[in-house]
Structure 1
Amino acid sequence: MKAFQLFKYNSTDIRLQKVEIDRPRIRPNEVLIEVKAAGVNPLDNLITRGEVKLVTPYRFPLTMGNECSGIVAETGPEVHDLSVGDRVFTRLPTDQIGAFAEYVAAPAVAVAHMPQGLDFIEAASIPLTALTAYQALELMAPKASEHIFISGGSGGLGAMAIPLAKARGLVVYTNGNKASRERVLALGADRYLDYRQEDYLKELSPVDYVLDSVGGKELSKQIQLLKAGGMIVSLRGLPNGRFAKRFGLPWWKQSLFSLVAHRLDREARARNATYEFLFVEANGRQLTEVAHLIEKQGIRPSIDKVFAFEQANEALAKVAQGGSAGKVILSLAN
């Protein structure tokens, strides 16, 4: 089968190699998915550059791709909730990625039935961002009517995080490019800021929670937006000791990450707030809950651009440029 693989980390070249490899053989608790579409994410480029190797090291060659939609082609004898022919979607386990391929093997517990009414392109855009938002909100444990700021809400994360936050009764503030204002407000955001013209520290009162998708210098700035007792969950910051413990990493990594993220933990404590790092994990049960919410509320994912499978490197380059108005997708449909 055709696949796109990484053969070594490269901090300056994010291109993958197109190869022919054997179709995966499934274990008793797994399903084989014929991939119809795969989501392309900043995480893919972070992996290629070696920026997450301390969190989740990989062996080479590595078939890339973290999320996909498709059709169940085969099931293991221990699988009972999925059948051949089912239309499914998944965020693959961090140690078993491989969605940039014609077929991928996945543990059944990481797989869910696609939301009814969505096509494969739309479904492939959901798992990583939806589970990220879901798990961030679980970590925050917010109460209805509390306030959250979601940075970069005009991208693929916002398309899922905003409806999920609104479903919990939160007041949602976000920012992004001017052109996406009406589309993002239609997702349910209570206020949308043009990041080029409006400074959230000046425009907003302190909030209970921040979901950070930007990192860098913006992370410290967003910590200043928190109320006392608030929490910021970052997807692009530095992993800290609490994350390492939750993620089940060895003690030496827990100690290392505690040192690495000491400044961010200290900045949050100075405001009597909490800094957390999140690396999204596969979870079919949570993905099923997301699918039900999508069906109930009629949510339609925001798609920026669809590339043919052979254009995987062009898709990765577009994601690396930033500024996408929704998700970038690879299509393997015939």
Structure 2
Amino acid sequence: MRALVFKRYGKPDQVGFADQSRPKPRPDEILVQVHTAGLNPIDNMIPKGTFKPILRFKLPATLGSDVAGVVVEIGSRVTRFKPGDEVFASIFDLGTGTLAEFAVVPESAAALKPPNLDFVQAASIPMVGLTSWQALKERARLKPGQKVFIPAGSGGIGTFAIQVAKYLGAKVGTTTSTGNVGLVRSLGADEVIDYTKQQFEDVLRDYDAVLGTVRGDAIEKSLRILKPGSAVVSLVGPPDAAFARARSMNFVLVLLFGLLSGKIIRHARKRGVEYSFLFVRPDGSQLAELGELLKAETIRPVIDKVFPFEQAKQALAYLEKGRSRGKVVVQMR
């Protein structure tokens, strides 16, 4: 089968197509014929070695985490799925990839595709959906009436996180460019800052939570808009010691991540704010819950652009520019 792989860390020219043998599912896995694969920013970071100390891959490794397709084979212990089922899933952090003609998926990570979504729409959901759910509902414990700041509202994570926050009953503040103000308002954003005209930290006040999605000094600036007792959940780092301990990392990495996150944690504590770093985990049951919201059209996918499989490298390059309105998807079939 054809797959988009990276052979070594650090150089873009190490990413390319390769022929691989079709994988065999283990007893608790399903084999999915991939119709579409959703792209995420981390798909560009992994080959550069950004997460090399955290994510383990056997090289050459297939890229991609999000998948939508049809089950063609099941393991001996699988009970929830059968051949012919249309499914979607995230297999992030499991050591395998989805930018291939076939992908193995743990039964626990998969969910039935909502029938009202096509494969392109379904593949756009898993990582951003699970990230939004785990960050806002589990980690930030967002409650009705609270205010959450979700920067970069027109991006892949932003378009979905805004909708999850509104479903949870929160008021949402976001940033975007002039041309995307209408889009984020249509998704439910209450306070919209056009970053070409204003700085969010000069306008927003008394927020209960921040979803950290933008690198640089954006998280430190966001501390100014938060109330005491609020939370910052960062998706972009720096990783903290609690994250390292949860992954059973060695003492050196626990210490290193503690040092890397020390500055932002100290600044947060001075304002009575809790900082934490989140790495999304695959979860088929949560994906099924999101599927019900998608089926009811409480939440909708936002697709920016679809690339054919043979242009997967161009799709990754397009995503890396950071200008997409919603998700970028690669279509195999």
Q: TM-score under structure 1 normalisation?
A: 0.96
**Does the residue aligned with 1:22 lie in a helix, a strand or coil?**
coil
**Does the residue aligned with 2:296 lie in a helix, a strand or coil?**
helix
Q: Is the 8 A contact 2:4 2:15 kept in 1?
A: yes
Match of 1:103 in 2: 102
Match of 2:53 in 1: 54
The 1:93–1:323 alpha-carbon spacing in structure 2 relative to 1, beyond 3 Å, is closer
The 1:323–1:297 alpha-carbon spacing in structure 2 relative to 1, beyond 3 Å, is same
- Deviation (angstroms), 1:153: 0.8
Alignment partners' CA distance in 1, 2:57 and 2:144: 40
- Deviation (angstroms), 1:318: 0.6
Alignment partners' CA distance in 2, 1:183 and 1:15: 37
- Deviation (angstroms), 1:96: 2.8
Match of 1:205 in 2: 205
**Does the residue aligned with 2:237 lie in a helix, a strand or coil?**
coil
- Deviation (angstroms), 1:298: 4.3
CA RMSD of aligned residues (A): 1.3
Taking the TM superposition and a 5 Å limit, the aligned residue runs for 1:227-246 are: 227-246=227-246
Alignment partners' CA distance in 1, 2:224 and 2:298: 35
Alignment partners' CA distance in 2, 1:42 and 1:239: 17
Alignment partners' CA distance in 2, 1:248 and 1:84: 36
Alignment partners' CA distance in 1, 2:38 and 2:313: 13
For structure 2, which runs of at least 5 residues remain unmatched after alignment?
A: none
The 1:219–1:298 alpha-carbon spacing in structure 2 relative to 1, beyond 3 Å, is closer
Match of 1:167 in 2: 167
Identity of aligned residues (%): 39
- Deviation (angstroms), 1:143: 1.7
Task: Give a deviation string over 1:160-192, Cα, whole Å, max 9, x none.
Answer: 111111111101111112111112111111122
Amino acid at match of 1:135: Q
Match of 1:180 in 2: 180
**Does the residue aligned with 1:261 lie in a helix, a strand or coil?**
helix
Q: Higher mean Cα deviation, 221-230 or 24-33?
A: 221-230
Task: Give a deviation string over 1:29-56, Cα, whole Å, max 9, x none.
Answer: 0000000000111100110111111221
Alignment partners' CA distance in 2, 1:14 and 1:151: 32
Q: Higher mean Cα deviation, 199-208 or 79-88?
A: 199-208
Taking the TM superposition and a 5 Å limit, the aligned residue runs for 1:251-270 are: 251-270=251-270
Is it true that 1:70 corresponds to 2:69 in the alignment? yes
Match of 2:93 in 1: 94
Alignment partners' CA distance in 1, 2:184 and 2:143: 23
Q: Is the 8 A contact 1:15 1:313 kept in 2?
A: no
Alignment partners' CA distance in 2, 1:14 and 1:237: 26
Match of 2:139 in 1: 139
The 1:126–1:33 alpha-carbon spacing in structure 2 relative to 1, beyond 3 Å, is same
**Does the residue aligned with 2:304 lie in a helix, a strand or coil?**
strand
- Deviation (angstroms), 1:296: 2.1
Q: Is the 8 A contact 1:94 1:281 kept in 2?
A: yes
Amino acid at match of 1:172: V
Amino acid at match of 1:164: V
Task: Give a deviation string over 1:141-167, Cα, whole Å, max 9, x none.
Answer: 122101000011101112211111111
Amino acid at match of 2:116: G
Q: Is the 8 A contact 1:215 1:235 kept in 2?
A: no
Amino acid at match of 2:25: I
Q: Is the 8 A contact 2:167 2:298 kept in 1?
A: no
Match of 1:293 in 2: 293
- Deviation (angstroms), 1:232: 0.7
Alignment partners' CA distance in 1, 2:63 and 2:286: 23
Amino acid at match of 2:195: Y
The 1:248–1:140 alpha-carbon spacing in structure 2 relative to 1, beyond 3 Å, is farther
Q: Is the 8 A contact 1:30 1:107 kept in 2?
A: yes
Match of 2:9 in 1: 9
Task: Give a deviation string over 1:205-260, Cα, whole Å, max 9, x none.
Answer: 13110001112121211122221111111111210012223344344422221112
Between Structure 1 and Structure 2, how many residues are aligned?
A: 332
Q: Is the 8 A contact 1:3 1:20 kept in 2?
A: yes
The 1:85–1:36 alpha-carbon spacing in structure 2 relative to 1, beyond 3 Å, is same
- Deviation (angstroms), 1:15: 6.0
